[in-house]
Amino acid sequence: MHKITITVVDGASSAATGGTGTAGGSSGSTEKKKKPLTYSILNPGQTIKDGMKKGMSPVAAMGIMGGIGIAKQVGRQWLNFHLSDIGRRHGDSNYQAIIGRRMEIAGDVMSVGKGALAGAATGAMFGPKGALAGAAIGAASAGINMLFRQMDRQRAYQHQMFEENNSQAVGLARANFSATDGRLR
């Protein structure tokens, strides 16, 4: 019989920090290794969860996390509900379209920022260089999504304008509008 050993290496604690763990196995220490500072800064949610788990039961931690999630959802829905009614309240649908467009622009800017932060948080397990690389990749990914969405909107607008111009040309042809035998109104 051959002896099989399975080794799990946590990149946040051994490879990235230069810790005492080895790729071939454990160093014999049973204490948890400290995560790099960039990981803690760029993953505040996980850092807070880890800190909370030390001082309370899993049920209490789950209850607090659930309460925070519900509070965030209520805040977002409240804001969306009140902003989506401005046009009807003022009787101006164009005003509502302007507000919707500004909200979309703010969302686009925030999505690039969120992408950068998510990439930085993911790359933080490899130290500061990993965080920078992750931030760049995350921002680029969000930017590409935004670019293609805007290109799709432009294509839809061009098609709509083509249909409207074509409809206008057909209407003029049906009216038989000409200088010699058409009717002028």
> Which pLDDT tens digit goes with each residue over 58-109?
777 778 778 888 998 898 888 878 777 777 777 777 887 887 788 888 888 8
Return the pLDDT at 86: 76
pLDDT at 33 > cutoff 60: yes
Q: Contact at 8 Å (CB) between 39 and 120?
A: no
> What pLDDT was estimated at residue 99?
79
pLDDT at res. 15: 45
Q: Answer yes or no: do 103 and 146 share one domain.
A: yes
Residue 27 lies in a domain: no
Q: Are residues 135 and 102 in the same domain?
A: yes
Q: How far is CA 67 from CA 44, 53, 60, 61, 72, in A?
A: 17, 16, 11, 10, 9
Mean pLDDT across the chain = 76
pTM value surpassing 0.85? no
- 128 is in which domain, residue-wise? 95-162
Share of the chain above pLDDT 70, in %: 76
pLDDT of residue 76: 84
Tell me, yes or no, whether 74 and 101 share the same domain. no
Q: Are 47 and 40 in contact (CB under 8 A)?
A: yes
C-alpha dist (Å) from residue 56 to 25, 43, 65: 32, 20, 12
Q: Do residues 99 and 153 share a domain?
A: yes
For residues 101 and 75, state if they share a domain.
no
Provide the 3-class DSSP secondary structure of residue 25: strand
Mark whether 59 and 105 lie in a shared domain.
no
Q: Mean pLDDT lowest for which of 32-46, 122-136, 165-179?
A: 32-46
Sign of CA dihedral 57, 58, 60, 65: positive
For the chain, how many structural domains are there in total? 2
